[in-house]
Structure 1
């Protein structure tokens, strides 16, 4: 097994099957002697509903997520250049794209019997908005192995854990009888040590039975701890998603504010120019009126 292949298969499963399948894969790796891989598999988090929907979108309709990366690059460039016209156009395109992605995830959810609630819709919007802001976030969404919004803010989570190709499983420890002890001789002539390895007649030693029981208890505790952690991660994700969405709304509104301020500045300049033109026209009109009055008076004097 390789971690990438295992993760890809797990995040493609229905969400409710993830934890059971992950634990089974971890046990399989541990039974094969690869404890490092087993640990890495055990660290994979069950996806939130929003993350699961995005993973399905990445697998089934990847071109729609690719549009996020293209639009994000254009938005960042326009923001850096303070290009108000481009920001207005791209902000409209951003709203259209988020609406289209929301519709796409709703369709996928309906097809798989996963309704998109209002809170899930907010989480989806925060994930898509984060992908607009950061190329790394867009790549995380496109990977199809997203577990939650935390993957977009945690730099370590953006790179999947890997097992060193040079790693080797630890050799199993085989209990050896003490060399200094003399064997006991039984009546049948078979030698044995009082604390040596178990035989078919005597069965496992108390120490081995105790170690096996302890392993079972620790593995059960590990599974329960992982499930509790998944639940806590979902609670955190909901709060983190709301925070991310609020942050992105502020960023979007700030961009719109910059565009509006530029519009205001241009309108102010046009108003100043128009005011000067009006003042010139007022002076020209007043001068024409004076000339007309003088001409009328001169004509009246001549007619008398």
Structure 2
């Protein structure tokens, strides 16, 4: 399946279909079914998959930074965390630039989210490094290290243990839960849209293949018609020649009989 995710995005659907056919022909129906369900990568996921293959050093930097951040957090090294947080912001921006140019705001935001998530979560980093992303959802994680958020920037100082709980914190959590629910719904709708786009692309590809088949049949029919017309012309010439020969023979016979 790696070969699919290394292709140009517009070639994914035809290549997936060919791979499914080959797997079925080989008798591996389970693998064929799994491949058939693979979604076409979103633009941002495709850009990351390409970056993994064309710029592995940049991905190595991302993984190494994640390791350094986890180590600094374990050691409670505030100065080191602030230094690495700045480096994180710079690296994410650099990786987005390496991934592509003239990107829309939404694609840029998704790239930033994927790179930042991979830095914060070791499992997400491994998933990104494999280069088989279908969308930003493939890297979503439920939680990260305490006190270290996914958003680039320095961590906030811890609150004093004696500080009382503030109702606003509860409201913030409720707002966060609502925001996460909205994101989940939006991601669900986007997944449905992605599936609809993939189905439409499959239909277009199938229609194009049928048009090519019909064009080939039309070409063959036109060639057959041309050959038939040529054969008819030849037959008519031969018939006229035979008619002339027969006429000459009859005239010769008449001359002989007259003598």
Q: Of 256, 277, 285, which residue of structure 1 is paired with 2:155?
A: 256
Answer whether contact 2:120 2:150 (CA < 8 A) is retained. no
What is the CA–CA distance in structure 1 between the aligned matches of 2:32 and 2:51, rounded to whole Å?
28
Deviation of residue 53 (structure 1)? 0.5
Alignment pair present for 1:68 and 2:55: no
Equivalent residue runs for 1:68-87 within 5 Å: 68-87=62-81
What is the CA–CA distance in structure 2 between the aligned matches of 1:42 and 1:96, rounded to whole Å?
38
Equivalent residue runs for 1:1-304 within 5 Å: 7-107=1-101, 115-153=102-140, 250-252=149-151, 256-258=155-157
Larger proportion of helix? 2
Deviation of residue 81 (structure 1)? 2.8
Deviation of residue 62 (structure 1)? 0.3
Residues 46 and 27 (structure 1), Cα distance of their counterparts in 2 relative to 1, 3 Å cut: same
TM-score of the pair, normalised by structure 2: 0.55
What is the CA–CA distance in structure 2 between the aligned matches of 1:42 and 1:88, rounded to whole Å?
45
What is the CA–CA distance in structure 1 between the aligned matches of 2:155 and 2:107, rounded to whole Å?
26
| Structure 2 gap ranges (5+) | 161-259
Q: C-alpha offsets along residues 216-257 of structure 1, whole Å, 9 cap, x if unaligned?
A: xxxxxxxxxxxxxxxxxxxxxxxxxxx99xxx9944579521
Answer whether contact 2:85 2:153 (CA < 8 A) is retained. no
Over alpha carbons, which structure has the higher Rg?
Answer: 1
What is the CA–CA distance in structure 2 between the aligned matches of 1:78 and 1:148, rounded to whole Å?
30
What is the CA–CA distance in structure 1 between the aligned matches of 2:37 and 2:6, rounded to whole Å?
17
What is the CA–CA distance in structure 2 between the aligned matches of 1:96 and 1:88, rounded to whole Å?
13
What is the CA–CA distance in structure 1 between the aligned matches of 2:16 and 2:36, rounded to whole Å?
7
Give the match for residue 230 of structure 2. Answer: none
What is the CA–CA distance in structure 2 between the aligned matches of 1:49 and 1:253, rounded to whole Å?
23
What is the CA–CA distance in structure 2 between the aligned matches of 1:260 and 1:254, rounded to whole Å?
18
Give the superposed CA RMSD: 2.7
Deviation of residue 71 (structure 1)? 0.6
TM-score of the pair, normalised by structure 1: 0.47
| Structure 1 gap ranges (5+) | 1-6, 108-114, 155-242, 262-304
Q: Which has the higher contact order (CA 8 A, sep 6+)?
A: 1
Residues 12 and 42 (structure 1), Cα distance of their counterparts in 2 relative to 1, 3 Å cut: same
